[in-house]
Amino acid sequence: MEYALTFEQYQEGLEKGKLLGLHCNTCETFTFPPMGTCRNCNGTDLKVAEAGGEGIISTFTVVRVAPEGKRPPYVVAMAELKEGPSVIGNLIDINPDEADMKLIGKSVKLGSQMVEGDVYSSDDCRVITFSLKEG
């Protein structure tokens, strides 16, 4: 199967500050994370598209017991993009001990950071981060 957007291209996009996904030419759905078919209609007529990089926090958790090689505590959040899909990433620039239910509904801007590979992954890669938007 040929992919419209490879993992390497996705990673390069994150490095350049772009959140790349796929736009379905059949049903107009934005698919993220990138995959082989549309998340809505399973169509394969897809083209690379860039998300606006903004969303609204729908849920979060404070990780206090982390996988090997990670340093807790940290906040993992899920945000719904303006384009539709939900994205998971680390909420940065916030004290995990101050994270409370007031985060739900807050606007965030997406970014990325490099993380080292660990016992569960072979290579370093970029992961999505969120920063709270002012206002």
Per domain, the residue ranges of the chain are 7-51, 54-132
pLDDT of 131 above 80: yes
Q: Which CATH number fits domain 54-132: 2.40.160, 1.10.490, 2.40.50, 2.60.40?
A: 2.40.50
DSSP 54: E
pLDDT in tens, 97-125: 999 999 999 999 999 999 876 666 678 88
d(CA 33, CA 117): 20
* Beta strands across the sheet bearing 30-31: 30-31, 19-24, 46-51
Q: Which residues contact 7 (CB under 8 A, 6 or more apart)?
A: 34
Residues composing the chain? 135
pLDDT in tens, 78-100: 999 999 999 999 999 999 999 99
φ, ψ of residue 74 to 5 degrees: the values are -150, 160
Q: Is the dihedral of CA 37, 33, 124, 88 positive or negative?
A: negative
- pLDDT classification of 2: cutoffs 50, 70, 90: confident
pTM of the model: 0.86
User: Could you give the percent of the chain with pLDDT greater than 70?
Assistant: 94
